[in-house]
Structure 1
Amino acid sequence: MIDAAIELLAMPKPSWQDDAATRRELDRLKDDVHRYKVAEGYDASQAAKVAAAVNERAERIRRFLTGKRCGGDTHHFWGRK
């Protein structure tokens, strides 16, 4: 479950000039994984909630890296649905 997020963290980070948004998301993912590891030692239900957030962020980053950027412009372009 968390292993996929840890794999994403193991990849080399892009430079700030190349893709700052991905780099920021990877930094946030690193913080979320740390939160999960702390919560895992104290409260199983809280760890499950944090794990769900980690998995959601990891999936969003994975889609982002494969070119499926999920901006609002893909859904509503100048008022079109």
Structure 2
Amino acid sequence: MIDHALALLEMHDLPSWEKDAPLRREMERLRDDVRGYQLAAGHDEGRACRKAAQVSERADRIRAFMANKRHGAQAINGWGFASRGHRYEL
């Protein structure tokens, strides 16, 4: 799972900040999470497991972003309306 996150971090064909800022923010957070995992792996096994789960969740979210399957404010709510301030295109 950490290897998949590292592969995501090595991608060079990412959209610019202007085109997809949420994806770029998630990539920065993933980079921080991977560093945290690497530090925790040498000291505390329990903390390393929690960080690994966090890295895995964030990597899954990034893959969903890249497949245009957004969650939260970027997605349509349960009634079929776009969230306020966001536009969802099919």
Q: TM-score range by the shorter chain?
A: 0.7 to 0.9
Aligned-pair CA distance for 1:42? 0.2
TM-score normalised by the chain length of structure 2 = 0.79
- Once superposed, what is the RMSD of the aligned Cα atoms? 1.4
TM-score normalised by the chain length of structure 1 = 0.87
Q: How does 1:1-81 map to 2 (within 5 A)?
A: 1-12=1-12, 13-72=14-73, 73-77=75-79, 78=81
Identity across the alignment (%): 49
Structure of higher RCO (CA pairs closer than 8 Å, 6+ residues apart)? 1
> Any runs of at least 4 consecutive aligned residues in structure 1 with deviations exceeding 2 A, and if so which?
71-78
Q: Which one-letter code corresponds to 2:10 in the other structure?
A: A
Aligned-pair CA distance for 1:76? 2.8
Count matched residues: 78
Aligned-pair CA distance for 1:66? 0.4
Matched residue SS, 2:18:
helix
Aligned-pair CA distance for 1:17? 1.0
Unaligned segments of structure 2, at least 5 residues: 82-90
